[in-house]
Structure 1
Amino acid sequence: MILHNGLRLDANLKWLFTELPFEGRFDAAAAAGFTAVEYASPYPFPAATLTRRLADAGLTQILVNSPTGEPGSPERLGYACLPGRAAKFREGVELGLEYAVALGSAFLHLPAGIRPADVSRDRAFAQYVANIAWAADLARGTGIRLLLEAQNKQDAPGFLLDDQSHAAAVVDAIGEDHVRLLFDVYHASIDEKDVLTALREFLPRTAHVQIADSPGRAEPGTGVVRWPDVFSTLKSEGYEGWIGCEYQPATTTEAGLNWIKEQVR
């Protein structure tokens, strides 16, 4: 979906159009005006099935995540920071890159994971940086950019990347040619003192943005985030990437899309 001010929105099919089975959400997104989609986990489906869904709906794939553990498990938010789990992380990155290439995805997001209580932050962070450096080497030449995302302490207690500066430090260490930030406005709005200040600071390292309001994680306009200012900042700072709609609609997806006209100025 191309907005009147040049900002581009894509639909996160894990969160939007959930009134429909997953495979039906592609056509629904296209009918609503989206031209691109993202979702965390393509792995329950053969890549060929998803490629066909994308093509039939006229959609571009923007992002997928590398595999994570089962909901409720210690690995539910990824393996990257877990000592002793490097082989599992590497296996997931290989599969993630395979899917990303097949789907034509621009990005593969590598979730950092939750630090075990008996592992020091320094040890977990060292494991994480080593794993990301390995993944960056593997991704070289694929055309896939790797993304790192900070998550808020309230929703993801123990998540290794718990503020934007931690994620940015890894981007700086590995190199922006291979690894960039995924700036999630929802997470930043909870943990950063001023989301607009954080956005301006970290946008130069950012290749993808995701949005949801806070509190509640519903569509923009349902919470306290100053969305007209967020979108104006993205535009004034020259952001040219996609903006992933990763929110839980307050009612239905279609009804909730009215926020675009109301909040984007």
Structure 2
Amino acid sequence: MPRFAANLSMLYNDLDFLDRFAAAARDGFTAVEYLFPYAYAPEQLAALLQQQGLQQVLFNAPPGDWDRGERGIACIPGREAEFRDGIAQALRYAQALQCPRLHVMAGLVPAGADAATVRATYIANIRHAAEQAAAQGVRILLEPINGRDMPGFFLSRQDQAHALVAEIGAANVQVQMDLYHCQIVEGDLAMKIRQYLPTGQVGHIQIAGVPERHEPDVGELHYPYLFALLDSLGYDGWMGCEYKPARGAAPHATSDGLGWLKPYLAKAH
């Protein structure tokens, strides 16, 4: 049966970030993910998780200068020292939060950069991250992101990500399969799931409606079919609810939009 984690960077955005943990727990979530924890002390976040009975299942490594448009630096030549410092910081948080997965954003390909150099930089950086993470049992995740939402992102297709995982050759490197991004770039989701899930290389799944990235029951995808398919294939990991509530930041917008989730929570109890 699917297990769902609330993405606190997108859900409950009518509340201050630190208040979103309690809101997610009240709505029946037992796990959370979010983009970045670095604005808060790890001990503060760990205490919130413990207070609310929540598991931290995923967050992102530092992305470079997010406010200036950077979306990861793993593929950017010349930023290797900064990348390594970021991985060290992320792993300190992962240890404090008992988080077993770390998403490392690939980054935007620099204008005019040599493609072979960019790819080699990315592979070397991910190998370093994987080596450091393996010591504390953390998996490094690579996520293809669609070029409509993030033009110029290094990694956009499932086959590209799986080929990189094979080339990197580290047991703790896996693919973060976001069905929203996959549908926009490739479609044919059921066949993609059937193709890649049995490889053991899918370490986490995320969901959202397409095309507006609202609740999973809004848009062109029929998630009950996909959830049943994942069950039939034995997927027992988490599904991150990384979507924007259709009612935005209106009071209780997230909670009021969870009708799609309630049948699955009922089965869990």
> Could you say which TM-score interval applies, normalised by the shorter chain?
over 0.9
Aligned to 1:138: 132
Residue 244 (structure 2) aligns with: 248
Match of 1:171 in 2: 165
- Residue aligned with 1:127, SS: helix
2:37 equivalent to 1:42: yes
Q: How does 1:121-132 map to 2 (within 5 A)?
A: 121-132=115-126
Residue pairs, 1:6-25, within 5 angstroms: 6-25=1-20
Secondary structure of 2:58's match? strand
Does the CA contact (< 8 Å) of 2:75 and 2:122 recur in 1? yes
Contact conserved, 1:106 with 1:143, CA < 8 A, in 2? yes
- Give 1:71 deviation, angstroms: 3.5
Is residue 127–residue 170 contact of structure 2 (8 Å, CA) maintained in 1? no
Q: Which residue matches 1:197?
A: 191
Deviation at 1:193, TM superposition (A): 3.4
The aligned residue for residue 56 of structure 2 is 61
Q: Determine the C-alpha separation between the residues in 2 that align with 1:158 and 1:171.
A: 20
What's the CA shift for 1:121? 2.3
Give aligned pairs, total. Answer: 259
Out of 110, 113, 117, the position equivalent to 2:107 is 113
Matches within 5 A, 1:73-112: 73-74=68-69, 76-112=70-106
Aligned residue for 1:23, secondary structure, equals: helix
Equivalent pair of 1:211/1:243 in contact (CA under 8 Å): yes
Separation (CA, whole Å) in 2 of partners of 1:224 and 1:179: 31
The residue that corresponds to 1:27 in the other structure is 22
Q: Percent identity?
A: 44
Query: Match for 1:132: what amino acid?
Result: I
CA distance in 1, matches of 2:151, 2:226: 26
Matching residue within 202, 215, 219 for 1:206: 202
Shift of 1:106: 1.3
1:120 deviates by 2.6
1:48-90 alpha-carbon deviations (Å, 9 max, x no partner):
000011111111110110001334535x210000000111111
The SS at the match of 1:43 is coil
Report Cα offsets for 1:94-128 as digits up to 9, x if no partner: 10111011100010110000001111322211110
Larger RCO (alpha carbons 8 Å, 6+ apart): 2
Identify unmatched segments of 5+ residues in structure 2.
248-252
- Counterpart of 1:236? 232
Return the offset for 1:262.
7.0
8 Å CA contact 1:186–1:214 kept in 2: the answer is yes
**C-alpha deviation, 1:232, in angstroms:** 1.5
Encode CA deviations 1:3-48: one digit per residue, 9 max, x unaligned.
Answer: xxx2100101001111110010111110000111011100000000
Alpha-carbon distance between aligned partners in 2 of 1:223 and 1:78, rounded to the nearest angstrom: 29
Over the aligned positions, Cα root-mean-square deviation in angstroms equals 1.6
The unaligned stretches of length 5 or more in structure 1 are: 1-5
Deviation at 1:263, TM superposition (A): 9.0
Q: TM-score, normalised by structure 2?
A: 0.92
| Structure 2 residue identity aligned to 1:210 | Q
Alpha-carbon separation, structure 2, partners of 1:263 and 1:106: 24
Contact kept? 1:215, 1:224, Cα under 8 Å: yes
| Residue pair 2:2, 2:264 contacting (<8 A) in 1 also | no
